[in-house]
Amino acid sequence: MPYEPKIYRELYKEKDLYHFQVTIEETDLDIAIRQERFNPKIKDMVYLLVQKERLLLKDYIKKDPEFIKALEPYAPLPGAPLSALSMSKAAQLAGVGPMAAVAGYFSEIVGKMLSNYSGEVIVENGGDIWLKLKKTRTVGIFAGNSPFSNRIGLEINPNRTPLGICTSSGTVGHSLSFGKADAMVIVAESAILADAVATAACNMVKSERDLERAVNFALDIPGVIGALSILGDKMAAKGYIRLVTL
């Protein structure tokens, strides 16, 4: 599937970070670490980790094909890999199927591994981000045809990281969504959780009247610390959401 961005990051323009990409099938990672910490072995390590985790998950799905089809919380079989267990746990909290958390899972495992080598790490997988920062940076928001698109961003304090920042959209991209939000952005302690909750909250937005309800739903889930919903020229935000103009 071609990469279709959901969240654009102004921080990717900063010259103190080295950016590289790792792509294996649907997993399309855009990664930034401190320039002085990069070497070619780092990229190889990421590739091998993603390859291994994808194979484990694909092998599991062959044994349990309902896992990939489920649109509601689904209990994995005994002996399931960490990926399936982690995705299912987040999906249970959000009330969605476990595959709603797959992009966030890969962002998080790569980010955590790289944080052993670099004090700053940003990993994006199709708009789902795991980050650990050393200075304040801005995450720009893409919201389709909304007038807010590329005009506002989230200012992220490094003291609040590591964090997951994930988005779901009913109008942008190919991911399955039953909602109509131009952007549903979730900030959470885990990118896996943020990914699942973004899907669930976006599904709730059928009209402008649902924006606040979706945000409140998200903030009621343990581990979620901020939520922002956008539909056209209307938005709702609550929790750890510091908006700045771009």
pLDDT in tens, the chain (246 residues): 233 443 444 444 567 899 999 999 999 999 999 999 999 999 999 999 999 999 999 999 999 999 999 999 999 999 999 999 999 999 999 999 999 999 999 999 999 999 999 999 999 998 899 999 999 999 988 888 888 888 899 999 999 999 999 999 876 655 556 678 899 999 999 999 999 999 999 999 999 999 999 999 999 999 999 999 999 999 999 999 999 998
Listed in sequence order, the DSSP H helices in the chain are 40-63, 66-69, 82-94, 102-114, 191-204, 211-219
> Is residue 3 included in any domain, yes or no?
no
For residue 46, being part of any structural domain is answered with yes
Domain membership flag for residue 2: no
- CATH number of the domain that 166 lies in? 3.10.520.10
In a domain, 4, yes or no: no
Among residues 171, 155, 166, the alpha carbon closest in space to that of 191 is found at 166
Whether residue 239 is contained in a domain is answered as yes
Domain contains 1: no
Residue 83, token pair as written in the block: 């990926």
Q: Is residue 5 part of a domain?
A: no
Asked if 231 and 202 count as a contact pair (C-beta separation under 8 A), the reply is no
Q: Which of 90, 58, 51, 82 is nearest to 189 (CA)?
A: 90
Number of domains comprising the chain? 1
Amino acid (1-letter code) at residue 92: Q
Q: What are phi and psi of 199, to 5 degrees?
A: -65, -50
Residue 63 lies in a domain: yes
Residue 65 preceded by cis peptide, ω within 30: no
Domain that holds residue 158: 10-245
